[in-house]
Amino acid sequence: MKDAFEALALAQARYPQIDRSRVYVAGHSSAATLALQIASSTNRVRACAAFAPVSDIEQRLGNKTMTLLDTWVPGTRASLKKASPQNRIDEFKCPVFLFHALDDGNVSPASVMALNAVLTKSVAVEYVAAPSGGHYDSMLTNGLPAAIEWLKRQDAVAK
């Protein structure tokens, strides 16, 4: 996240024409998790599009891996738990677009649905679930077009 904020600051310093009120973050899979982490860490982001995000990093890695990581670097478990989007719900300040496919074999559709259920209590969420397409193809065929239309609506509000 630190790198993302430094990149944004560098870009804004170098290109003053960047409209600071129209900064958006987006990502797919682990990058979607990062996009959610960024969106929940600042008020500089206008909107976030997350395609098949991992919402519970602890659950994703499993207890054995979490224990091993914590053995190597004490405090890792606590840091990853804190970094999980599902544990950052109260920190979100911008609208979120959540997308996944119901036949995603990589990221559990139930976990994205659960994130949607809790996130809608804090911010506006556009939730889209494709019936098929798996982890990647659904994003290309269904997710990106829907997110682009959603971002256009967010952009219109920002003007």
Token output for 101: 């496919």
CATH class of 21-54+86-158: alpha beta
Which distant-in-sequence residues (6+ apart) come within 8 Å of 54 by Cβ? 29, 30, 32, 33, 60, 84, 85, 107, 111
**Per-residue model confidence as pLDDT tens digits over 36-52:** 999 999 988 999 999 99
E strands, 88-148, in order: 96-101, 125-130
pLDDT of residue 77: 87
**Per-residue model confidence as pLDDT tens digits over 8-36:** 889 989 999 988 888 999 999 999 999 99
Q: Where are the alpha helices (DSSP H) in the chain?
A: 2-14, 30-39, 57-72, 76-83, 109-119, 137-138, 144-158
Residue 158: pLDDT over 70:
no
Task: Please give the average per-residue pLDDT across 115-134, as a whole number.
Answer: 96
Q: Domain segments of the chain: what residues?
A: 21-54+86-158
Contacts 24+ apart (CB under 8 A), 59-67: 59/111
- What spatial distance separates the first Cα and last Cα of the chain, rounded to whole Å? 27
For residue 47, the cross-strand partners are: 24
